[in-house]
Chains A and B, each alone.
Chain A
């Protein structure tokens, strides 16, 4: 490494060299003068004979330099100076790139977190989710799981788990927590080791309710136990039952689903205590999710075959439940293919889009850099004339491009880290720890760096042809190199028009979705969420069951009704537009065979107390609502919605007094008709719904709806006090109904947000694209424009000459984009309720937005075109 000492000696070396060369020329000149030349002639001749001194000195110095690095350092310094000289250009370029690299980093992190990275456990890539049936559903019954676990020859272990809730009481103040109930081998098969204490094992399982142990997640231990190492061995109450804290899971471990952050793990064998009932002995009750660790050397196909041979024998042994059963493997972490399929497709689509955005940004920056190179053609020509090589100049331009891309990339990554932090902490659904951690890792940083560099090289290459073609003689003679103001459509034009179109699509769809959102919040859901507080409690968590349930629920209702300000209160087993819904088949009264294929409809079922329709403000159209007399010992009755009436009885009038049958054949008489509403999602097609009296089908799940004429801040606290006074051991959550609706609006909100962000990015792109092309066209035609001005062209004419083309592109692109956007909102209406582009406000908004964009982007080039001073231009000739 001889260059290291050279660095220190270099000053002396260079000095010697310069001195030597100076003396050389002096000696030559003296000799020539001795031959009779004049002093001036001799000096000139000496210089001519020597050659390009600057270049030769540089070559000589280069010998001592660490090959290219130092000239790169010099290039970087020069590039920095150049970039600082045009802050507008630099800021535009860097910002564009920062946004695009940032978007790519975010999307890549999503891809990395959700698709590429296996579960965060040792050898996570060997884990597979076992899916059931043709529909690839993740749920399996416990007896089937046990058979698979014990009879397979392909897995080192199979685990089963389920997402569940329970009331956790640590200090006399119980609250609901979300947890996993897991098979005993859960932690051992995953290969996770406890942070504190121990985990539960297969050996702890000895029949139902035999393992009263829990393992805390690290985050829950931190937040609820203040990281107290003394919790191990402590006894807490889970649904009133005593459980021992065995240990704490390690910090990074959140279980086997990527989107779910549990508070704790409890053994699956204790299901009866945790969920209030147990179906572990029922082969027909599916619901356990199963993950296996593949044995070394066994392929996925072999394992599937092995599982299916077990399925065949199970189907023979238990034809009633397991007829036609089959198994398939999937990547774990997203409920198998149930969420995995859509998520993979979605993230893949996003990645593609982000890539395209980056590519478009590169094209824009390319034209921006071309404009710059055109502006600098004189400087470049001068440098060529002074003996600089084309390679050297190209390297200089590339250095600028790479510098911009690196700074932009760094800013983009910094921004994405902030965004990803926020995204990782985001809980879209109240009351449930649904959340996805997508922290960037080294892979993200590496990819971003590569993308930044690649894009820098890509757009840096655009002006190359320009430089290679440059003729120094012409350049100096004619000033800026004039390109013919072509009439033909160039690739750049098409690219720009396409970008503007994409931008218009995004702007259109984000406006449509925002409008849809606003409208859907005001639309008719079939209930009125305003002024209602809802309380969610599971009586099972307080130890109530069976016949106790109606008694306790009625007592709660009675007390709540006494709270000042409460006008009406009622409860139901679930409420519309919340997480999940229960859908049951119904049959015509004439049906005798209750097979699925004979069903008249699938109806959403709500079990509601008297007063429910009043509390929810659902209009009763005909007949009567429920009373406390609709008890278990009287014939079954129902209130149905209009869609139900139309579907089963042909018309709304015929419904009242008519009968239908529910699963199993029980006859139910329709006593009332209520308006249609939204039940599962805002954008769903109208679904039939039936409301059954809660006393005829009791439930331990309780959603209390409390309508009042006071504000929620006034009623909320007294409601909490009342409930607490009734049973301090009853955990509950309390929210306004409008807050609770966040769940239903989540998809639409997320879509609007994503579209908004993409729309912003698209606008940014169109902005730089238009700016780049406009700037290029103005700097290319400076002379022509100057002559026009000198000849007395009015400003309007000058503007038309300079920017007419850009505005034509803008108009064409916006038009296409608007039409495409209107087409795209058909798709959008699946997610966003009432998304319609036939809305003058939306159309006007799009046109206005695009116009503003155009004005903003062409402002600087237009100013430049107008401020051309023909005198200066002519003097430069």
Chain B
């Protein structure tokens, strides 16, 4: 992933690009409901620590998703017996995620083609 080169300065690590964090959150929640801390852990692990998401930046994204009713939240007790606020993806959240992923894939494919083409010409 060229996007996630390691020495991430403060300014570039906040958002990968608009909507990317939301997409990853939704994808994580599709697999299973989770609370904020677990979400951060999950995203970092899944990206093999290539994406060093500032933990706090999750919360504005979660609030945006809540407001758009793409996820819902509930207070409860976790398996480790902690009081947690668990997020769950909604039906419209699922739909939104599908759309986002397909449009992202198309975009990524396009970018990759352009990058490959330029590689081909320079070589």
Contact = CB atoms under 8 A, between A and B. Distances in A.
Interface string A7-24: 000000000110111011
Nearest to B67: A63
Contacts of B36: 20-21, 24
A56 B67 contact: no
B54 interface: yes
B104 interface: no
A56 B85 contact: no
Contacts of B85: 16, 19-20, 23
A63 B37 CA distance: 20
A313 interface: no
B82 interface: yes
B64 to A, nearest CB: 5
B94 interface: no
Contacts of B59: 17, 20-21, 56-57, 59-60
Contacts of A21: 36, 56, 59
B49 interface: no
Interface string B69-93: 0000101000000111100000000
A53 B84 contact: no
Interface centre among A24, A50, A56, A59, by most chain B C-beta atoms within 10 angstroms, is A24
Contact of B84 (A23, A60, A62, A64): A23
B43 to A, nearest CB: 13
Contacts, number: 58
B116 interface: no
Q: Say which size band chain B's interface belongs to.
A: 20 to 34
Given A28-B37, A64-B67, A56 B60 contact: yes
A27 interface: yes
B56 A17 contact: no
Contacts of A63: 60, 63-64, 66-67
B91 to A, nearest CB: 18
Given A21-B59, A56-B60, A57-B59, A50 B54 contact: yes
A52 interface: yes
A67 interface: no
B63 A60 contact: yes
Chain A interface main SS type: helix
Contacts of A2: 67
Contacts of B35: 20
Nearest to A30: B82
B103 interface: no
Interface centre among A19, A53, A57, A63, by most chain B C-beta atoms within 10 angstroms, is A63
Nearest to A61: B63
Interface in A192-238: none
Contact of A52 (B56, B62, B73): B56
B55 interface: yes
Contacts of B73: 16
B45 interface: no
A62 B37 CA distance: 21
B63 A51 contact: no
Given A17-B63, A20-B85, A53 B56 contact: yes
A51 B57 CA distance: 8
A50 B55 contact: yes
A49 interface: yes
Contacts of B37: 23-24, 27-28
B54 A51 contact: yes
Contacts of B62: 60
Interface string A410-452: 0000000000000000000000000000000000000000000
Interface centre among B36, B54, B60, B75, by most chain A C-beta atoms within 10 angstroms, is B60
Interface in B8-44: 35-37, 40
Contacts of A53: 56
Contact of A59 (B55, B60, B83, B84): B60
Query: Top 3 closest A-B pairs, CB basis?
Result: A51-B56, A56-B56, A63-B63
5 contacts: A16-B85, A20-B85, A28-B37, A49-B54, A64-B63
Interface of B: 35-37, 40, 54-57, 59-60, 62-64, 66-67, 73, 75, 82-85
